[in-house]
Homo-oligomer: A and B are copies of this chain.
Amino acid sequence: MTKSRFTMRPVGFVRSPYRTTDEIPHGIGARHTTEGSLEILPEFEPGLADIEGFSHLFVLWVFDRAGKSSLVSHPPSDDRPHGVFATRSPHRPNPIGLTVVRLLRRDGNRLEVRGVDMLDGSPILDLKPVLSSVPEAELRRGWLAEAEARGVPRRNPPR
């Protein structure tokens, strides 16, 4: 017997300088060095114990302003469409974002981080420590590498 729906709730919210998606760097060569903070709700603060020993965290969050999902995506890094699961499009069947941030410091229930690419106020679902990396030499990046090789110019994503 399989449940067909799962209900998630915010454990906190992202504080970022980005108020609109246009302000967020997108596409090939986009660097995410923007600083922001992860404000965890006080009731979940005990779950942060010992998190300060980790340099990098996975942030799972909600694209809460993404609108309609689509199985085909037109990413800003390419002039060709791709399946949504082969992209980081916000318009996903389950609108969950995944961002790796560098943890700069913790101040109680507030984590100061570098690398935010979320809109201000985005709900956080979970945090996890990054424990290991895929060696760069083993990573194949499919259509993204091909688009880079073709020299596709960066453009703003369609909305």
Contacts and interface: CB of A to CB of B under 8 A. Distances in A.
Contact of A134 (B4, B82, B133, B146): B133
Q: How many copies does the complex hold?
A: 2
A145 to B, nearest CB: 8
A93 interface: yes
A47 to B, nearest CB: 4
Interface string A78-94: 00011111111000111
A8 interface: yes
Interface string A128-149: 1111111110111111111000
Contact of A58 (B5, B53, B98): B98
Contacts of A94: 8-9, 11, 60, 125-126
Contacts of A49: 72, 81-83, 86
A50 interface: yes
A2 interface: yes
A128 B125 CA distance: 17
Contacts of A130: 134, 139
A118 interface: no
The 4 tightest CB contacts between A and B, nearest first, are: A53-B142, A49-B83, A55-B140, A47-B71
